[in-house]
Amino acid sequence: MSITVEEVFETVNMTVHQHFDIRTVTLGINLKDCMDRDLTKFCNRIYKRIVEKGKLLNIYADKIQHKYGIPITNRRISVTPVSLLLEPLPRTTKAAVRVVKTLDKAASNAGIDFLGGFGAMVQKGMTSSDENLIKSIPEALSKTKRVCGFLNLASTQAGMNMTAISEFGHILKKLAAMTKDGIGCAKIAVFANVPEDNPFMAGANHGVGEPDFSLNIGISGPGVVRNVIASNPDCDLTALSEVIKGTVFKITRAGELIGREMAEQMKVDFGIVDISLASTTAKGDSVAQIIEAMGVSVMGRPGSTAALALLIDAVKKGGAMASGNVGGLSGTFIPVSEDDGMIKAVKSGALNLEKLEALTSVCSVGLDMFAVPGNTPAEVLSAIIADELAIGVANNKTTSVRVIPVPGKRSGQMVHFGGLLGSAPIMKVPKIAAPDFIARQGRIPAPIKALRN
């Protein structure tokens, strides 16, 4: 694909006035060839590789940012799912925690913002290595700063691992209790149908189908899309879809150029461009405000799901026209704490947990960065997760949950996480949901649509 420099400079106005940026450059690193039965040798190998490649990532990100004047907000690394790397090591949580501390130290010394991949693929069952990693999550993520985790608990092909989902509710409660305001829970996401090339945290991992190294790009432009919608207040929805498609086409081309050029300079494979619209707490950088600019009175009120479906479809079509390498999650994030419009919608009562779940049936991620009372029972957390992942399994799409049970907080109160994580109103959830259902454990079989052979 031929991309001109002139096309990129079309985005300068978007960058200066509408918060357009390259949200992340994420280098995927294969660590399988570092595996060893000697824990010290293994840790030394992964530390050396991550520091070396992480420093290079920063060097070339700085060069590209200076050349084109487009901010590269985050520099990240994703690694092979760590439960696979733990297979030859002693089945103790101490070994898992030592590995995660090594990853954290390497990311810090390389100047990397976040490192993803501390997780496991357990959609059908769990090995002893998987179980060991899951048990280590509270200690591992409470004692590190830059490492993020993921668990794939369900897939359309395998069904839902209800045993793991049931256990994870208790893991979340422990992790929340070990970190201020439960913030450790923001560093782990659970999935149905997790992609292997996702550049966004917390779910990033370098899947087993990936090459030794690949550079994945995450672009973002809610402010750009909101501005173009506000500039077209009278057109019908067909025309509005075309306007959004054209805008996303332009910003995706910028991501494509930057990704290809960085990959070439680093001598690694170019992976994908993730075209997700990712909110921030900055004024005007809100997906909820895009929906409201389309004509919905407040995000969460009737019409929101239809408007979000139109938006995501247009985003995907525009991105697919601009790049042959669209991947990752690609669509629209609707996190609560990181989006000023979502926060206002929850506080006003227009958006509750049930409507948020309905919105996730069409969005690209799921229930993301929402806070619930700290005394929410573990089985209720597991039930919320099960409902959301069922949407992904039934619809053959990626869905995810990042829920934060905030110790000491009640529904209606606020919690302030700070930085990119923003603030969240504590959402009301039932104190009892489906205890007998969750306690059954086992596996919900794959839907009939999985039988495609």
The rounded percent of the chain whose pLDDT value lies above 90 is 72
pLDDT per position as a tens digit, 20-70: 678 889 999 999 999 999 999 999 999 999 999 999 999 999 998 888 877
DSSP code for 301: S
- Of the listed ranges 54-58, 71-75, 242-246, 309-313, the least confidently predicted one is 71-75
Q: What is the pLDDT of residue 312?
A: 92
Q: Is 197 helix (H, G, I), strand (E, B) or coil?
A: coil
φ, ψ at 27 (rounded to 5°): -95, 115
* pTM confidence score: 0.92
Q: What is the mean pLDDT of the chain?
A: 91
pLDDT score at 16: 46
- On the CB side of 387, CA atoms within 13 Å amount to 15
Between CA 322 and CA 333 the distance in angstroms is 20
d(CA 391, CA 364): 12
Task: List pLDDT tens digits, range 169-183.
Answer: 999 999 999 999 999
Tell me what pLDDT residue 2 has: 53
Q: Which CATH architecture has domain 273-450?
A: Alpha-Beta Barrel (3.20)
Q: What is the DSSP letter of 221?
A: -
Is the predicted pLDDT of residue 106 greater than 50, yes or no?
yes
Q: Is the pLDDT of residue 12 over 70?
A: no
Q: Is the pLDDT of residue 287 over 50?
A: yes
* Distance, CA of 219 to CA of 274 (rounded, Å): 6
Coil, strand or helix at 350:
coil
Q: Cα–Cα distance between 245 and 263 in angstroms, integer?
A: 26
Residue 235 CB contacts under 8 Å (≥ 6 apart), including other chains: 243
* Poorest-pLDDT segment among 144-153, 283-292, 302-311: 283-292
Question: Rounded to an integer, what distance in angstroms lies between the CA atom of residue 357 and that of residue 366?
Answer: 7
| 3-class DSSP assignment, residue 111 | coil
Cα dihedral sign for 156, 119, 384, 287?
negative
In the chain, domain spans? 273-450
E strand or H helix that includes residue 342: helix 340-348
399 has pLDDT over 70: yes
> Which residues are CB-neighbours of 200 under 8 A, at least 6 positions away?
23, 24, 26, 218, 274, 276, 278, 328, 329, 333
* pLDDT at residue 348, as a whole number: 93
State yes or no: pLDDT of 13 exceeds 60: no
Whether 61 and 72 have beta carbons less than 8 Å apart is answered as: yes
* CA gap 344, 339 in Å, rounded: 9
Is residue 374 within 8 A of residue 427, CB to CB? The reply is: no
Cβ atoms of 27 and 61 within 8 Å: the answer is no
Residue in the structure block whose two tokens are 């040798």: 41
Written in H, E and C, the secondary structure of 262-294 is: HHHHHCCEEEEEECCECCCCCCCCCHHHHHHHC
Average confidence (pLDDT) over 245-261: 87
